[in-house]
Structure 1
């Protein structure tokens, strides 16, 4: 009877690796604890021991899963509020190319004036791989601006 519960623990644990649920992990633990208990108790009561472990471990696993999921919902998006450098744009879709974390991203401007290459902007939202930017005011650095003068001013 000992080997039956060892096999159940192994199969449930292996299946858990492929499914990612807590249910099979609880069943695997219950079977493992039952196999260990089987070293001390007769085989006739091991089915009841297994049932008892399942009735304790399954709700405990569910409670832990929901508790951990609630904690992760409180974490915000760490990209929001980070600065980016405008590389080029706008293209025909009014999208800009920006440099963020060493890579080029596509972005659209949601707040502020149209940026020029070399301007700084802040990420205010993300949609999939598209960054939504708020443009920072231009700093007078004494350099010639990269944007052509607008005909409106």
Structure 2
């Protein structure tokens, strides 16, 4: 009888990995706890023990899922405020190519002057795979240019 609950625990735990719900995890835990309890109690009461564990762990699983879902809604987009490098553009639709997170993204400028190649910008919004940028002002490096300006008269 113990092996039945071990198989139920294994099957429910494996199915949980593919579905991502907490309900099957609760059933897997209930079956595992029942198998452990079966070492101390006779096999005739294990069905009732399994039912009791399910009645306790299923609502607990629903509560945990609800709590995690509420916390996830409060998370913002981690891409906002990150800097990107302008690598090309603009194309016919006024979109630029930018380098961000090791790959090339399409972006449009929502705030600031039109950027030049090599300029830095900040992500201010994101719609699907399109980044909305705010262009950062150019930084003066403080170095003199390599060639002095020519004096034309």
Residues 63-100 of structure 1, C-alpha deviations (whole Å, 9 max, x = no match): 11121222222222221111122122110111001122
Q: Flag structure 1 segments of 5+ consecutive residues without an equivalent.
A: 144-153
Spell out the pairing of 1:92-107 with structure 2 (5 A cutoff).
92-107=92-107
Matched residue, 1:74: 74
Q: 1:133 Cα shift?
A: 0.3
Partners of 1:11 and 1:105 lie apart in 2 by 42
Partners of 1:93 and 1:78 lie apart in 2 by 27
> How many corresponding residue pairs?
143
Q: What RMSD, in angstroms, separates the aligned Cα atoms of the two structures?
A: 1.7
Q: TM-score, normalised by structure 1?
A: 0.84
Q: Flag structure 2 segments of 5+ consecutive residues without an equivalent.
A: 146-153
Residue 80 of structure 1 aligns to a residue whose secondary structure is coil
Matched residue, 2:14: 14
Partners of 2:117 and 2:104 lie apart in 1 by 13
Residue 122 of structure 2 aligns to a residue whose secondary structure is strand
Residues 112-149 of structure 1, C-alpha deviations (whole Å, 9 max, x = no match): 22112122211001122211001123345576xxxxxx
